[in-house]
Structure 1
């Protein structure tokens, strides 16, 4: 097994949260589902995510200076699937959306979302790592309750994480 094969196999079983990133670089809105969103810093709030160069949304997202990051729950599965489907218009009215006053597209059914400003891009073979500072948004109370049903991606499938997670003291 090559190192690349081992990497793919290992990360296939590494659960990840799911987010949809939207932006409009000036020639129309784009959206993309990611399972690579990570928190980098809380003060200032900074996140990072990877973009595959194979995605038709990658190039427009890289041109955009600002974006909206939607943190998805299991109830948002249809939106996750929409953002992950190639060759479809993600803003055709299938999922309700609006433009923020600043112009970015935002899916209105998602309860936790953040407006972000791109800080930088690290090009990687076949991909790019994007760092962005959060500059606005909201986290609805119901979206952050421990009993909320989270959406995770594991073993190339969507899953519902619905049991209450108890902390473990160390």
Structure 2
């Protein structure tokens, strides 16, 4: 049997070396707009379009976001690193005069500079010991992927650092199937 502290360290090390896509979540709450960067976004289903993500139970922003009924999921590119970094730091003003954002007709905040985004309705909140797992069904959105320049890089998080994954870093291989 592996000691629990050894298991926790092995877990942290494994995920530190596992590249993760980056998303920015925004929502309107009773106290105003909130935003946070996550690396836990996953696709659950294409039809209907459902995503999931986890939120730390130690985050004040996550606690506020969990009160919302809807959320906007932004897919930042490497050139959006400053915004992703801003939304990852606790206590930062994420909707000040320096941020280019708008309120959607449905009331949620959306960062204009990010071309790919979806608005979703939260379906499930599953409280766990240290986090809450959330699912949301996507209601609308825009995918700018087809119009993104070839020089644009995908933003990933690996070994506690932001990285850009460019076209030259991608290899054609077998498709993942579920």
Q: TM-score, normalised by structure 1?
A: 0.94
1:166 Cα deviation (Å)?
Answer: 2.9
CA deviation after TM superposition for structure 1 residue 146, in Å = 7.0
Partner in structure 1 of residue 172 of structure 2: 167
**By how many angstroms is 1:26 displaced?**
2.5
Give the superposed CA RMSD. 1.6
**CA positional deviation for 1:153:** 0.0
How far off its partner does 1:33 sit? Answer: 0.2
Structure 1 residue corresponding to 2:26, chosen from 22, 26, 47: 22
Quote how far apart the aligned CAs of 1:60 are. Answer: 1.2
CA contact (8 A) 1:116 1:135 kept: yes
Change (3 A) 1:57 1:161: same
- 8 Å CA contact 1:73–1:149 kept in 2: the answer is yes
**Corresponding residue for residue 78 of structure 1:** 82
Residues 29-74 of structure 1: CA deviation (Å, up to 9, x unaligned): 0000000000000000000001011222111111100010001110
Match of 2:56 among 40, 47, 52: 52
Partner of 1:110: 114
Deviation by residue 1:102-132 (Cα, 9 ceiling, x = unmatched) = 0000000000000000010111112101000
Uncovered stretches (5+) of structure 2, i.e. residues with no partner: none
Q: What TM-score, normalized by structure 2, do the two folds share?
A: 0.90
- Relative to structure 1, the CA distance from residue 7 to residue 39 in structure 2 (aligned partners, 3 Å threshold; closer, same or farther) is same
- Aligned residue for 1:63, secondary structure, equals coil
2:72 paired residue number? 68
Counting matched residue pairs gives 169
Tell whether the 8 Å contact from 1:36 to 1:50 is kept in structure 2 after alignment. Answer: yes
The question of whether the paired residues in 1 share the 8 Å contact of 2:19 and 2:158 is answered with yes
Which structure has the larger Rg?
Answer: 2
